[in-house]
Structure 1
Amino acid sequence: MRALILVGGYGTRLRPLTLSRPKPLVEFANKPMLLHQIEALVEAGVTQVVLGVSYRAEQMEQELSEEAKKLGVSLVFSHESEPLGTAGPLALAKDILTASDEPFFVLNSDIICDFPFKDLMAFHKSHGKEGTIVVTKVEEPSKYGVVVYGETGSIQNFIEKPQEFVSNKINAGIYILNPTVLRRIQLRPTSIEKEVFPGMAQDGELYAFELQGFWMDVGQPKDFLTGSILSYYF
């Protein structure tokens, strides 16, 4: 099974920690952020991880290759000549991700949580549609774009920063997608959240999976520090 991790950003929100190291290699709870994700993927049966890289790509290759050998996972570095957003990297790695009919995981690199990969896979296979988004509950949904879905998990809509309560679930930055989704994505800078997922939802091809445990986006200094503390309690 395969996974793609979006690591092509410059990590500007996490400066000064990213002035000398790419964000995925910044240590979180005593190991690089990216390693937390790769270890969880391997535990769920993933054997090949594609890293969509641009900024400090050589440094990531040097530091992660040895760790990958220890874990018994194949790392593929997919180099972006320009930032491709959150969907373009999937199109760039199309040949790898469509090498089989198996669904694949996609992750934002600054997400730390109780990774639910096995349960996510089981849920995805149970509904049989093209994609599943992991969603998580937040206390102040008006600060986020929220996901609206029915009792079965079928996503109906995405609403940006709602002023009236419609949902308290947000996109958690973890997905499982069938290879057929790549027909919807062009090789150009593209947002999967704004340009791909709404169309999938309209077609009835996108479901939500609720994460019950710890979750945090640690892409900003304040959240990084908070997450570092909270991670020891979960």
Structure 2
Amino acid sequence: MKALILVGGFGTRLHPLTLNFPKPLVDFANKPIVLHQIEALKEVGVTEVILAINYQPEVMISFLKDFEDKLGIKIRCSQETEPLGTAGPLALARDKLVDGSGEPFFVLNCDVISEYPFAELIQFHKSHGGEATIMVTKVDEPSKYGVVVMDEDSGRRVDRFVEKPEVFVGNKINAGIYLLNPSVLDRIELRPTSMEKEVFPKIASDKLLYAMVLPGFWMDIGQPEDYITGQRLYLDSLRKKASTKLAAGPHIVGNVLIHENAVIGEGCIIGPDVVIGPECVIESGVTLSRCTVMRGVLIKEQACVSSSIIGWHSRIGQRAQIENTTIGEGAHVFDKVHINGGVVLPHEEIKSSILSPG
């Protein structure tokens, strides 16, 4: 089987992290976002992954080459010269996706994190005999999204899509994970096209589109606040699986993931919902909660970080307070500086407090 991952463009919603790295290579739980998906695809027999990308393909391929060899899976890029939306990239990659086997192929949005129940999706797709399957997830406030309305008789065939409904029509939204028959490619022209607004409604009108409710958690982690929420859901999922990957000890509160070569000082309070990457040094008396600390970060004594993402190789000074902030690669926050709601560009030096978003 094959899979296409919609990588997209510049990842502006995740700035400043994506100023230095393509979005799929940004770490999530100590692993590039896209690698979570590739590993899950490999587990269900996918042998080739195509990355639909229009930004820094050479960086992507160079980085993923090692993983290609380790996982025994082929990884290729399909590069857009102009933005093609969410369906156009499938037409562009047609020759890479179609191999004459007639097997369906996966399509994923790279921003999506979940438990990736691909084996169940394959079984569901083969059971209904339609042309396409989309995964849907239940939400508490469907009026914020485009809702997928199911056929009342079957309960699993898609009847129609309603964009941000003002009255309740359902609580299931598109989760950005699809399994499609090759015939779907015949419906897509090589131009900027939307799967959600153009292609799927046509398949639904032909009564060939089905939806499977995604079990477990789901989150689009394409912007910092959702990234932090997605991390909490991911760590909670690890806990439910009784994972030995989670940290334990008197200084740990709730779900915490710490890389084996990170150094943690005495008297720290870490958690809940914290990820600490490789080569990090967390000095004594530091408090961390609801945050990601990426590779090579130094956090000095008695600093406090909450609801924030600390980018690679940054330095956080003594008694600094970082809240609701995203810090780019190699930045330096000086001692006793307080940042609340800031965005710190890569390699910036912050010597005075920022107490309002900016």
Q: Normalized against structure 1, the TM-score is what? A: 0.98
Is residue 2:36 matched to residue 1:60? no
2:18–2:26 Cα contact (<8 Å) kept = yes
Deviation, 1:165, is 0.7
**Which has the greater radius of gyration?**
2
Of 219-228 and 131-140, the range deviating more from structure 2: 219-228
> Structure 1: which amino acid aligns with 2:83?
P
Unaligned 5+ residue runs, structure 2? Answer: 238-358
Q: CA deviation at 1:10?
A: 1.2
In the TM superposition, what is the alpha-carbon distance from 1:116 to its structure 2 partner? Answer: 1.1
Whichever residue aligns with residue 76 of structure 2, its letter is: V
Within a 5 Å distance, the mapping from 1:142-161 to structure 2 comes to 142-150=143-151, 151-161=154-164
Q: Which runs of 4+ in 1 moved over 2 A?
A: none
Secondary structure of 1:232's match? helix
Matched, 1:184 2:187: yes
Name the residue aligned to 1:207. Answer: 210
Contact 1:141 1:167 in 2 (8 A): yes
Question: Which of 193, 199, 203 is equivalent to 1:196?
Answer: 199
SS of the residue aligned with 1:166? coil
Q: Give the distance between the partners of 2:79 and 2:9, measured in 1 at CA.
A: 12
Quote how far apart the aligned CAs of 1:107 are. 0.1
Look up the match of 1:69: 69
Q: Work out the percentage of aligned pairs sharing the same amino acid.
A: 63
Q: CA deviation at 1:98?
A: 1.5
SS at match of 2:81: coil
Query: 1:137-188 CA deviation, whole Å, 9 max, x = no partner?
Result: 0000000000001234110010001111110000000000000000100011
**Mapping of residues 1-234 of structure 1, within 5 Å:** 1-99=1-99, 100-150=101-151, 151-234=154-237
Q: Distance in 1 between matches of 2:78 and 2:182?
A: 17
SS of corresponding position for 2:19: coil
- The answer to whether the 8 Å contact 1:8/1:80 transfers is no
Distance 2:126 2:112 in 1: 23
- CA shift, 1:230, in A, is 2.2
SS in 1 for 2:137: strand
Alpha-carbon separation, structure 1, partners of 2:132 and 2:41 = 18
Deviations 1:117-153 (A, max 9, x none): 1100111011111100000000000000000012341
Report the CA distance between 1:229 and its aligned residue.
2.3
Aligned with 2:211: secondary structure? Answer: strand
Q: Distance in 1 between matches of 2:68 and 2:53?
A: 16
What code does the residue aligned with 1:231 have?
Answer: Y
SS at match of 1:165: coil
Please list the CA deviations of residues 175-213 of structure 1 after superposition, one character each: whole Å capped at 9, or x if unmatched.
000000001000111111111000000000100000120
Question: What runs of 5+ residues in structure 1 fail to find an aligned partner?
Answer: none
**In the aligned structure 2, how far is the partner of 1:157 from the partner of 1:230?**
29
Q: TM-score, normalised by structure 2?
A: 0.65
Q: Equivalent residue of 2:16, what SS?
A: coil
Relative to total residues, which structure has the larger helix share, 1 or 2? 1
Specify which structure has the bigger relative contact order, considering alpha-carbon pairs within 8 angstroms and separated by 6 or more residues.
1
Q: 1:149 is matched by which residue type in structure 2?
A: M
1:27 alignment partner, SS class: coil
Contact 2:61 2:76 in 1 (8 A): no
Query: Post-superposition shift, 1:227?
Result: 1.1
CA RMSD of aligned residues (A): 0.8
Q: How many residues align?
A: 234
